[in-house]
Amino acid sequence: MTADTPSNKQFLADYRPWPFELRQTALEFDLAPSATRVTAVLDLAPRETAADLVLDGGKGLQLLRLAIDGAAPDPAHVRRDEETLTIAAAALPQAAFRLETEVEIDPSANTAFEGLYLSGGMFCTQCEAEGFRHITFYPDRPDVMTTFRVAIRSELPVLLSNGNPVRQQPGLAEWHDPWPKPSYLFALVAGDLVAISDRFTTRSGREVALNVWVRPGDQDRAGFALESLVKSMRWDEDVYGREYDLDVFNIVAVDDFNMGAMENKGLNIFNSKLVLASPETATDADYERIESVIAHEYFHNWTGNRITCRDWFQLCLKEGLTVFRDQQFTSDMRSAAVKRISDVQALRARQFREDQGPLAHPPRPDQYEEINNFYTATVYEKGAEVIGMLKTLVGDEGYRAALDLYFDRHDGDAATIEDWLKVFEDATGRDLAQFKRWYTDAGTPRLTMREDWVEEAEGGTLVLDFAQETPPTPGQPVKPPRVIPIAVGLIGPNGDEIAPTRVLEMTDARQGFRFEGLGARPVVSALRGFSAPVMLERVIDDATRAFLLAHDTDPFARWEAGRDLALSALTGLAQGQAGGDGYVEAIGRLIADEGADPAFRALCLNLPGEEEIATRLAAQGVTPDPDAIHAARGDLARRLAEAHEALLAGIYDRMVVPGDYSPDAAAAARRALRIAALGLLSRIDGGDRAEVLFGTAGNMTERMAALTCLIRRGRGQTALRILEEQFGDNRLVMDKWFTIQPMVAPPADAVEIARRLAKRPDFEWQNPNRFRALLGGLAGNHAGFHRADGAGYDFTADWLMRMDGANPQIAARMSTAFETWPRYDAGRREKALAALRRMAAMEGISRNLREMVSRMIA
Ligand code: PHE
Ligand code: ZN
């Protein structure tokens, strides 16, 4: 492996506070596309004697001036290397002093979109996690917090930064952020932008100006984002008692953005796909995601900004908590049951997958080489699950008390997971030493449940015996038992609930729980609400699953019973066994039930994806065969459609949503059920309904669903052309267009389709959304990406290597397409490994991609 990028291994155990105090920061920007000047004035004071002043800042900073208390230090005391600037203690005053630097940087050459860069003629920044060091020399670490004063000089009309505006005049803007913050929350935007605006009065009476800034012409697609912001602000006051703390709140949409969005203080910067939406261009899923990400970034104002992280090992302190909060918000805005089920689906698809392979790591890792590689499903989604378990264990009141204490005790702090657990211990009196393993240990526990029924004179006793075991993960061979909250209810033989939900607290490797005085043997509804992120294994037959699908009072457990039926059928079919009749029958009863919630019926009608089937097989120790899985799924879908054609057709015809489009939960649920029916029907109607729908639907949700069916039937060409003619100049729609083709194509064609699309002039590969659209589309075609001849691996590796030269974060992130390689057959493993090795051997490979591929190869 080439070692031209220096190793940068960081360890949690090595944490030391910074030896200086930073009292305030003043920045001045003279913006010019290829030569921006940045002056930084840092008021510092030593906290230790004889400490050298080490500032982060790499080769991209051209140092023009350096002064300490107005005078240039002796050059003999100043040292620069690849990543830092060091001023020896000998050149520093013993007491408070002022450091001034002036640097020149080149935003136009910044293709990594980290630091200050240009996106479609507009200047913007991305500083989390370590982007600020590409702007100026600075202690770029989250535990150094201070107030910022920022002056921006530019002829561009809109000049924004954090905090409150101090002065706005042509060519100059000044901002002051009174809340101490770390550098990763700094932001600057300058461009030709327009805003749609509103006002919000906080409950203590602060008047806040709200703006969503977009490019001229996009205003009519920004309204939903603005409404979502107002809802978020109100919700955080109502539910967490958290108020906003500045006079303005700005959101800016940019087209080139590595992630979803960023919570910079008072100036959130968003990937435009998470701001812009209209019925013609965005799907129901897009609307829901916009609402939740707007909320997520807003909620960071307290969980992330007012209380930040001591170091990047603590990332899940802000992310797990903020995801948990945005999940609660969406549950309150929409349907709690549907939200929980979709969150679990996403957790399994991304986090369980991560936990099962070579990239497994704990929610709080204790080492990393490149922190950008740890913005993962484990840190975010599992981090949120861990908080959900805490809340289950301490109860709603305990949770509220702990959170109040957290905000009270740690406002203004850079905190740790230990601080977080301590507020729960202090507020509730509970010992959380064992619970902490959820933060420090990787891997998904396997929970096995055995039932013992003891018939007695007066009824009987049910004993539930649980065993937990967590398979080894990289660097963690042995896993001690964890506390697992297992929510259980009992259903009587007639379908009535006889024991409401009770939370069993499992703390040992094996543990039994008794339910006494039961009349007749009940059916156990286990892990209700998915009360812990574990894989539950139990001996259960299809009839019992169908019974739970019909009668369980817990919506998650009820859905899970159906899911389990589907997965047991599909894993069997994929291994050449017969099966699935029980599932087909049970679904028939469910969809005939007109009284059932359309959203719930839609969720049950969607078959598990191929990736999920593969994950289930792998967890059972079976090598997944992608082609067999693809065939099995297609087969079961066809059988469902044939068995229930009339019912499905009835649903399709009736679930039309009358009137103007609205993205609300009820309307979206009807559309979801309608297109779930369409998806099945199109397996047997040749795609005729889909063709009509594509031509007549006024909303993108139904059009994309129709297009999916048409492509699957091999008759998507016309519709694709129409979409391109209509929306060729709309990036967000064209991203969908780029994704859907390789994703839905027959597996044998997917790579060729991706190859052809990659040659188009509008495959602007340096745009992260466009790159993700195409490569992610291919990776989303399970059997296509894992083609037996390795063509999917090679095509992907070629593009990752090319991307790595421009944007290492995106290359590293997309390399996770390979993370499941060890579970496949020897032929595929060999080809995937060859592709990984080829990447590892690339000259000039980034630290980001190198860390990812070496973890995957190890
Ligand atoms: N902190 C952002 C969020 O979760 C994610 C992000 C990380 C954005 C790094 C950009 C860069 O809300
Ligand atoms: Zn976040």
Average pLDDT on 327-352 reads 97
pLDDT, residue 4, reads: 57
Question: Which atom belonging to ligand 1 lies closest to the Cα atom of 258?
Answer: 10
Which ligand is in closest contact with the Cα of 268? 1
Residue 170 CB: number of other CB atoms within 10 A? 8
The answer, yes or no, to whether residue 483 has pLDDT greater than 90, is yes
354-376 residue pLDDT tens:
999 999 999 999 999 999 999 99
553-573 residue pLDDT tens:
999 999 999 999 999 999 999
Question: Which atom belonging to ligand 1 lies closest to the Cα atom of 319?
Answer: 4
Task: Let me know the angle formed at the C-alpha of 610 by 683 and 749, rounded to the nearest 5 degrees.
Answer: 70
Question: Which atom belonging to ligand 1 lies closest to the Cα atom of 304?
Answer: 1
Which ligand is in closest contact with the Cα of 294? 1
- CB of 354 closer than 8 Å to CB of 370: no
* Catalytic machinery residues: 297
CA of 785 to the centre of ligand 1 (A): 28
The answer, yes or no, to whether residue 2 has pLDDT greater than 60, is no
36-56 residue pLDDT tens:
999 999 999 999 999 999 999
Question: Alpha carbon of 179 to those of 203, 267, 419, 586: distances in Å?
Answer: 20, 13, 21, 57
- CB of 432 closer than 8 Å to CB of 424: yes
CA of 312 to the centre of ligand 2 (A): 13
pLDDT, residue 1, reads: 41
Which H or E element spans position 556?
A: helix 555-574
Distance CA 287, CA 339 (A): 14
Q: Whose CA is nearest to atom 2 of ligand 1?
A: 262
Q: How confident is the model at residue 203 (pLDDT cuts 50, 70, 90)?
A: very high
pLDDT, residue 458, reads: 81
Question: Alpha carbon of 777 to those of 606, 738, 792, 796: distances in Å?
Answer: 19, 7, 11, 11
Phi, psi angles (nearest 5°) of residue 618: -60, -40
CA of 377 to the centre of ligand 2 (A): 12
Average pLDDT on 3-28 reads 91
Q: Report the chain's mean pLDDT, rounded to a whole number.
A: 97
Question: Which atom belonging to ligand 1 lies closest to the Cα atom of 129?
Answer: 9
- Where does ligand 1 bind, in terms of residues with CB under 6 Å? 126, 128-129, 259, 261-263, 296-297, 319, 375
Distance CA 781, CA 856 (A): 21
Distance CA 376, CA 129 (A): 13
Q: How far is CA 238 from the centre of its chain?
A: 25
The answer, yes or no, to whether residue 14 has pLDDT greater than 80, is yes
CA of 281 to the centre of ligand 2 (A): 26
pLDDT, residue 136, reads: 99
Whether the model clears a pTM of 0.90, i.e. scores above it, the answer is yes
Coil, helix or strand for 449? strand
In angstroms, the first-to-last Cα distance of the chain is: 13
Tell me the angle at which helices 791-806 and 826-840 cross, rounded to the nearest 10 degrees: 20
Q: How confident is the model at residue 770 (pLDDT cuts 50, 70, 90)?
A: very high
Distance CA 313, CA 369 (A): 11
59-80 residue pLDDT tens:
999 999 999 999 999 999 999 9
Pocket residue to mutate for ligand 1, from 372, 375, 807, 810, most atoms within 8 A of Cβ: 375
The answer, yes or no, to whether residue 199 has pLDDT greater than 60, is yes
Distance CA 170, CA 154 (A): 8
Average pLDDT on 784-812 reads 98
Q: Whose CA is nearest to atom 8 of ligand 1?
A: 262
